[in-house]
Amino acid sequence: MRQILINLLGNAVKFTRSGQVPLRVDYAREMARFEIADTGPGMDAAELQRVFEPFERGTAAGGNATSGTGLGLTIARLLTGLMGGELTVHSTPGVGTTFTVRLYLPELHAGASPRPRDAEQRVAGYAGPRLRLLVVDNEEADRRLLVDRLAPLGFTLLQAASGEAALALLRSARVDALFLDLAMPGIDGWTTLRRLREAGLSDAPAAIVSANAFDKGLDNDLDITAADFLVKPVRMRELLAWLQRRLQLQWLEQPPEADAAPRPPAPAHTLPP
């Protein structure tokens, strides 16, 4: 976050010969909004389309002698995306430019006792009958991330590379929970979930897995709350917390000093798109 703001503030100062460079911060419902404005030369629509390309804004200044920004804006946008956020820009020629960063930043309560960083690594399994989970995502790497984390805990993982494949699988298989990507070719995650609910294929709890943290605020008619959204890359702690809450699981932990001997993963099956 610091590097993003340093790059954006440095860019704003560079293009402001006089005036001010305000930084405004808003925070509500775990969504943070940072706004950095300048009173520089501004950019037209054509220049805005190229502003995040390397070395572009130096030529966008329309005769301004200030040198280009190098990779600063490019890196800021990349880092924002990796954090699941959004970086946008608005500019008016002759008036100035405003960059806005929006990020999902969970609130930390003062005085709360944080869990040890490796607490989730001590989870060795769960009590009770074995459960079956379905991961629906067109990206194999994203499916494998969930499979590799959950199969060693004793879950049976089923995989579907598309919404259509998920619907076909659920016509003959029962699952205890679903993980659905939103942005998939063909039918997206919302449509997949809506169709399987309407067809009575499964009433299992569903988590929406998305690369965009702002999807948490989307309204829907499927009783999916913000707590049912997991932002890519999914953190193990959040994954375990969701499963525990929605499936009423009791985790079994190995002692901190126990040897972490590798265990054979549970089977994982993939349906093609």
Query: How confident is the model over 194-210, as pLDDT tens digits?
Result: 999 999 999 999 999 88
- Distance from chain centroid for Cα 85: 8
* Domain chopping of the chain, boundaries: 2-104, 119-255+263-271
Residue 110 pLDDT = 61
CATH assignment of 2-104, among 3.80.10.10, 3.30.565.10, 1.20.120.850, 3.40.50.300: 3.30.565.10
Residue 69 pLDDT = 43
- Separation between Cα atoms, residue 178 and residue 171, nearest integer Å: 14
Same CATH fold assignment for domains 2-104 and 119-255+263-271: no
Residue 56 pLDDT = 59
- Separation between Cα atoms, residue 54 and residue 49, nearest integer Å: 12
Going by C-alpha positions, the residue among 82, 40, 44, 86 that lies closest to residue 65 is 40
**How many other C-beta atoms are found inside a 10 Å radius of the C-beta of residue 14?**
20
Q: Are 138 and 165 in contact (CB under 8 A)?
A: no
Q: Which residues of the chain have pLDDT under 70?
A: 55-70, 108-121, 212-219, 221, 256-273
* Phi and psi, residue 231, nearest 5°: -90, 130
Residues in the chain: 273
- Separation between Cα atoms, residue 144 and residue 157, nearest integer Å: 10
Residue 218 pLDDT = 61
What distances in angstroms separate CA 226 from CA 24, 123, 179, one per listed residue?
26, 25, 14
pLDDT digits (tens, 9 = 90+) for 31-56: 889 999 998 888 888 888 888 887 65
pTM: 0.55
What distances in angstroms separate CA 90 from CA 21, 234, 271, one per listed residue?
15, 31, 44
Q: Which helix (H) or strand (E) holds 181?
A: strand 177-181
Residue 84 pLDDT = 77
> Who contacts 162 (Cβ-Cβ below 8 Å, separation ≥6)?
136, 138, 184, 185, 186, 187, 273
Going by C-alpha positions, the residue among 174, 181, 150, 167 that lies closest to residue 267 is 150
> Who contacts 243 (Cβ-Cβ below 8 Å, separation ≥6)?
177, 249
**How many other C-beta atoms are found inside a 10 Å radius of the C-beta of residue 196?**
24
- Separation between Cα atoms, residue 192 and residue 181, nearest integer Å: 10
Token pair listed for 53: 């390309």
The residues that bridge with 268 in the sheet, in sequence order, are: 157
Q: Are 158 and 152 in contact (CB under 8 A)?
A: no
Please give the DSSP secondary-structure letter assigned to residue 114: P
Q: Specify the fold of 119-255+263-271.
A: Rossmann fold (3.40.50)
Residue 228 pLDDT = 87
- Separation between Cα atoms, residue 4 and residue 127, nearest integer Å: 43
Sign of the torsion formed by the C-alpha atoms of 120, 82, 179 and 144: negative
Place of tokens 């609910």: 197
